[in-house]
Structure 1
Amino acid sequence: MHWMLLLLLLCVPAAQAQSLTNDAVLDEIVAVVGDKLILRSEVDGLLLSFLQQQQQPYSDELWLEALNQLIDQKVLAEHARRDTTIQVSDDRVNQALEERLNQLMQQVGGQARLEALYGKTLTQLKAELREDFREQMLAETFRNRKLQQIHITPSEVRAWFAQFPADSLPTLPDLVRLSHIVRYPRPSEAARQEAFEIATAIRDSIISGRSSLEAMARRFSEDPGSASAGGHIPDTRLGDLVPEFAAVASRIPIGEISQPFETPFGVHILRVNRRQGDVIDFHHILIRIDDSQADPAPVLAYLKAVRDSILTYNLPFGLMARRHSEEASTGPQGGRVVDPRTGERDLVRSALDPTWQRTIDTLQVGEISHPAEAVLLDGRRAYHIVRLDAFIPAHRVGLETDYARIEQLALQDKRNRVMRQWLNELRRSVVIWLHGKAKTLAERYPHKILIPTLAQR
């Protein structure tokens, strides 16, 4: 079974997977693009990702769409190889491959689980997959070069928008654009000491052999992502951990239980099970520091001073956010708040936490709030000053109010059309053959295979 199919089967509902696994062991060649083969298991693997993401039932038409995507990739890679100006270095390929395998190991429960599922060592998997990744990167580079050449004019945007009847256009709710400067309250020394004492007592119990780290993690750890798994976090890059945690994890001897140490999340004890380059497999226990009794006065005074400086000396808000905000996701971006799911700056006002809404209600556009308490997106309690950058009342979508949004949608539609025409032209100069299931379904649904001069046999 192809590696992609094997891994995707782990996270797709059985009812959806069944129609693809009945004869997955008997793999077959379903297409040849130039001198490159496409296996049925490759198409099945890509289709399973469609089913998982889109929550759709299996259909032959969807199977052909997956085949089309793989044909496109092979065609793009073939043309990229012919273009001597496109090069993909071994370092780039190896880095991309490492990142993908690390993601997969996290999904399936670590390196040992991945190796057991596929029946190959990690080194063998890398050797098998390296050229697949090189081909994907060649295709993506060639595709992006074409995409960057596609632009749209204002007249094209207006013409695209005019296709939609006015009474069919949606109404958007109140939207806001915000920037803020965040400071966290400092827990009391007594609260810090209490957390360290709890962590120390847990460590002593583990070291003495009275209990295991796994059992103590299930009972006491306050990390919701790992407590139920006995504190286990599979292969993770050191760069993805907060610096305080990474510093301990990078130097502690394998198998040893660390002394309690503090990070922004609380107090930890840690055991590294395996370290391979900058990837570690570990268990940990987190004891949070109670900040419910933290004195907000120092933070409020700090934020008031920052606000006064901005207003008195006309200092740029973005500059002050980069200097003084403690929120890692917004401070370096000048305090700009975005929807973490979409990256959009336009936020639905009613979807914000009530602490934010109460602050926004006091502001006119361009004004900066007084320091106020807030519940941040990660659930942490903090204090901030907020600038209301824009307020867009509820309205029906229109060019005057939503031009940037409409422009992006129109550009995406144009890119889809131009890229499809371009890919069809590229396919004319690459020999493509269909076999087996692909040939049978292409004859049944000829409109689904977009190959203008397809030779089938």
Structure 2
Amino acid sequence: MKYSVKILFFFMAMLFVPSLMIAQNNVVDEIVWVVGDEAILKSEVEEYRKEILMQNQRIEGDPYCFIPEQLAIRKLFLDQAKLDSIEVQESQVTRSLEYMINEYIASVGSVERLEEYWGKSMTAIREDLREQLREQQLIEGVQQKHFGSVQLTPSEIRKYYNSLPQDSLPFIPTTLEVQIITVEPEIPLEEIDRVKAQLRDYTEQITSGKNSMSTLAILHSEDQGSAMRGGELGFMNRSSLSPEFANVAFALNDPQRVSNVVETEYGFHIIQLIERRNDMGNFRHILLKPKAPKVSLDTAIIRLDSIRTGIMDKKITFDDAATYLSADKDTRNNRGIMVNNTPRSANAGTPRFALNELNQDIAKVAGEMKKGDVSTPFIMINDKGREVAAVIKITDRNEGHRANINNDYQIIKQMAENAKQQKLVDEWLQDKIRKTYVRIDPEWQGCEYKYKDWLK
């Protein structure tokens, strides 16, 4: 929670008491740091600690030393954001908030457990996280303005590389570049009818009051991400949903009603409106996926084996087979080349994959393959959760190694730029600290802080 109090109030208080105590929601809170005219409360430190634990982040050293310093740094950046008139994009804050809320709920299992963990209502959790995300966007704005234009020459990058001890260079895991061809097994009409009938039965149970949609989603939905939350997706805009789903979902206006059965590339759904906020909507759904019988999977394997034979006999290239014969619409316009979309991966946006970044069914096959190898056909679960037959080709393979400037120039370049940016940030913070009033409660002073001059 953020507190703004006139600086005179703090100065006067510090003259008479060693640490100011504030009554807040019938709980006595303690001011542990003061940075400029902003207080850091013990409760803020505890909230930050819980958030770090929720995100499975590591803290080196004493959290009650590390966390207050991080909060103090945050306040220095926010003060600079005011001076720089940095603006916040509320739509981006909202998207980030809903993503974070959904991740937290998935982590603990339910809204109720999340409320219990934080000791506050979902509304209060949203308000606090929204403020944190707004502040984070302001901080990123300051960082971009003051430190975002770092550019190094090739000679500076090489000098940085030569200054590094060899054992400090990152280990680059084995990476692969993969082409893929898939064939989708035929789903019998009887199986599709069965799934639709099952969803219509769920709709009848919901509208008659026999069962709630959330209960049925927990029990039966095949969307593993949302099933544990009673089918709730969290607030999303149209572009975050498949077009067929979005067209039906955003046409709903009565939370008591359930949509007709909707088909998407993931399977068949029924949808219920929870809440609308301008162009954002929160929906609940149940997903069922028609199952391909073994005979259809076998037929798909035979079809792919025939394609592979043509490739091996050089009657058709893998590129052409992927372009004209593959069912995978995400890769067939790119000659079957897979692109890494793993968030925060060093390989994101490139055709390079570490083994643990590949679909696990593909990784099992690709692990022992060499450059130029074409696999035999196999069954995999694609990113839509559907069974398909696949054959892959390894177009490149780089074995694991210590980063070097010849093979990993972009990684070394990013490391050098990050180091330069961090140096600029450190110098800026040291200067800012020297010019800012800081008071630390005596009981919180026995720490080795990263930055000097906190203790004046």
TM above 0.5, one fold?
yes
The 2-side partners of 1:51 and 1:210 are apart by 40
State which of 420, 427, 442 in structure 2 corresponds to 1:421: 427
The farther-off stretch of 419-428 and 35-44 is 35-44
- Match in the other structure for 2:95: 99
Query: Equivalent residues in 2 for 1:18-417 (5 A)?
Result: 25-53=27-55, 61-83=62-84, 86-88=85-87, 92=89, 94-103=90-99, 105-106=101-102, 107=104, 118=120, 135-163=135-163, 166=166, 174-180=174-180, 184-228=184-228, 231-233=230-232, 235-239=234-238, 240-252=240-252, 253-293=254-294, 294=296, 296=300, 325-327=328-330, 335-340=338-343, 342-344=345-347, 345=350, 346-349=352-355, 352=358, 353=360, 355=362, 358=365, 364=371, 374-376=380-382, 379-383=385-389, 388-417=394-423
The two structures, once aligned, show a CA RMSD in angstroms of 4.9
Alpha-carbon distance, 1:131 to partner: 7.0
Alpha-carbon distance, 1:286 to partner: 2.3
Give deviations 1:101-127, integer Å, cap 9, x for gaps.
Answer: 43465445569x8699646967x975x
Alpha-carbon distance, 1:88 to partner: 0.7
Give deviations 1:385-409, integer Å, cap 9, x for gaps.
Answer: 7564532134454333333323323
The 2-side partners of 1:181 and 1:448 are apart by 55
CA contact (8 A) 1:355 1:374 kept: yes
The 1-side partners of 2:264 and 2:70 are apart by 44
| Corresponding position: 1:432 with 2:441 | no
SS in 2 for 1:450: coil
209 and 67 in structure 1: CA distance in 2 versus 1, 3 angstrom threshold: closer
SS in 2 for 1:88: coil
The 2-side partners of 1:327 and 1:403 are apart by 29
Alpha-carbon distance, 1:142 to partner: 1.4
The 1-side partners of 2:122 and 2:381 are apart by 46
Q: Which structure has greater helix proportion?
A: 1
Q: TM-score, normalised by structure 2?
A: 0.70
* Structure 1 residue identity aligned to 2:300: P
Report sequence identity in percent.
23
* Structure 2 residue identity aligned to 1:347: F
Alpha-carbon distance, 1:314 to partner: 12
Question: Number of residues paired by the alignment?
Answer: 416
CA contact (8 A) 1:174 1:350 kept: no
The 2-side partners of 1:158 and 1:142 are apart by 29
CA contact (8 A) 2:32 2:444 kept: no
The 2-side partners of 1:433 and 1:455 are apart by 7
The 2-side partners of 1:419 and 1:317 are apart by 51
Alpha-carbon distance, 1:141 to partner: 0.8
Q: TM-score, normalised by structure 1?
A: 0.70
SS in 2 for 1:296: helix
Alpha-carbon distance, 1:368 to partner: 8.7
Alpha-carbon distance, 1:255 to partner: 0.8
Alpha-carbon distance, 1:215 to partner: 4.6
285 and 389 in structure 1: CA distance in 2 versus 1, 3 angstrom threshold: same
